[in-house]
C-alpha cells in the first residue's frame, strides 16, 4: 500500500471528521479511563476523543509514520503508537475502541473485529465506521478508467473488495457482545465538480491505483477518470457536484 499523505487527507478534514462525530455520538456514556483511536490518521478523530473523555488516557494507533508524525504535531500531549491493526490487540482494560474509516483497509477485517471484541472486558465499547462506497460511481469509475489502455493489466484486482452486509456483521459480532447496533448513513458532500471528487479520492481510494501506475501513465489515467466522474456527478446550479457517500456504522457493547 502506498504511503498516506496527511496533507491530501486533510483537504477534506471537515467532511471526514463529520462521520467520526456521528459515530462518537452513539457510543454509550461511560467513565472511560483508557480509549484507543484505531487508525487515527493525522489525529482529527483523536482530538474528538480527547475532548469527549477528558479523564481518560487516549492512545492513537496507526501504521503510517507520516500520519503519526502529523498527529503528534497536532496533539503533542497524546500518546501515539505505530502498529498493524491486522494483528494488533488492545489490552483488556481498554474501555473504548474507536475507529473511523480504517478497517476497510485491514485484510479480513471481520476476523480482526471479532478478535478485538473477544478480548474486551464486559461493558467496554467497540465503535467502528467504514465507507461502504465500493459500488458507487466514484469507485466503479476507478476500474473503468483503465479499460482499453496499455496499463489496464496493472490495475486489475487493485480495487478493495465489497464490504460485508449488515446481516453478516451482526451474525459475526453480536454473539460476542450484549448489544450491537449497525446502520448506514448516506452523506452528500458538495464538491468542486469532478475535479474536486478526484482530489477527495486521491487521499483514500485512488491511492493504490495511482501507485500501480508509472508516473507518465498517471496523467492519462486521471484525465479518463475525471471524465467519467463528470458524467456520473452532474454539476448543480451553483457549480458543485454532489458526492454521494454511504458509510456503515457499528457500535458493540461487550
pLDDT for 131-165, tens place per residue?
Answer: 999 999 999 999 999 888 999 999 998 888 899 99
Residue 15 pLDDT > 90, yes or no?
no
The residue ranges of every structural domain in the chain are 6-253
- Scanning the chain, the segments in alpha helix (DSSP H) are 6-9, 13-24, 44-52, 65-74, 109-118, 137-144, 152-155, 166-173, 193-202, 207-212, 215-232
May I ask the CATH class of domain 6-253?
alpha beta
The CA distance from 15 to 178, in Å, is 32
- Count CB neighbours of 27 within 10 A: 19
Instruction: Retrieve residue 246's grid coordinates.
Output: 454511504
**194, 230 contact by CB (below 8 A):** yes
What does pTM read for this prediction?
0.91
Sign (positive/negative) of CA torsion 101, 106, 107, 108?
A: negative
Does the structure show a pLDDT above 70 at 12?
no
Amino acid at each position: 500500500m502506498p504511503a498516506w499523505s496527511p496533507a491530501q487527507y486533510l483537504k477534506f478534514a471537515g467532511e471526514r471528521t463529520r462521520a467520526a462525530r456521528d459515530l462518537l455520538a452513539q457510543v454509550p456514556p461511560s467513565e472511560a479511563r483508557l480509549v484507543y483511536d484505531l487508525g487515527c490518521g493525522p489525529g482529527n478523530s483523536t482530538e474528538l476523543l480527547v475532548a469527549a473523555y477528558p479523564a481518560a488516557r487516549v492512545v492513537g494507533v496507526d501504521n503510517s509514520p507520516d500520519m503519526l508524525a502529523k498527529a503528534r504535531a497536532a496533539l503533542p500531549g497524546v500518546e501515539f503508537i505505530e502498529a498493524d491493526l491486522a494483528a494488533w490487540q488492545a489490552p483488556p482494560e481498554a474501555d473504548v475502541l474507536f475507529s473511523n474509516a480504517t478497517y476497510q483497509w485491514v485484510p479480513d477485517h471481520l476476523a480482526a473485529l471479532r478478535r478485538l471484541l473477544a478480548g474486551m472486558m464486559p461493558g467496554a465499547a467497540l465503535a467502528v465506521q467504514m465507507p461502504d462506497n465500493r459500488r458507487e460511481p466514484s469507485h466503479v469509475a476507478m476500474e473503468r478508467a483503465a479499460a482499453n489502455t496499455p496499463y489496464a493489466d496493472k490495475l486489475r484486482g487493485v480495487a478493495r473488495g465489497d464490504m460485508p452486509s449488515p446481516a453478516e456483521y451482526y451474525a459475526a459480532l453480536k454473539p460476542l457482545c450484549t448489544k450491537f447496533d449497525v446502520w448506514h448513513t448516506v452523506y452528500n458532500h458538495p464538491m468542486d465538480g469532478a475535479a474536486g471528487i478526484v482530489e477527495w479520492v486521491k487521499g483514500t481510494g485512488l491511492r493504490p491505483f495511482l501507485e500501480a501506475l508509472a508516473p507518465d501513465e498517471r496523467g492519462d489515467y486521471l484525465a479518463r477518470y475525471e471524465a467519467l466522474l463528470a458524467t456520473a456527478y452532474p454539476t448543480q446550479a451553483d457549480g458543485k457536484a454532489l458526492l454521494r457517500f454511504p458509510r456503515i456504522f457499528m457500535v458493540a457493547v461487550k
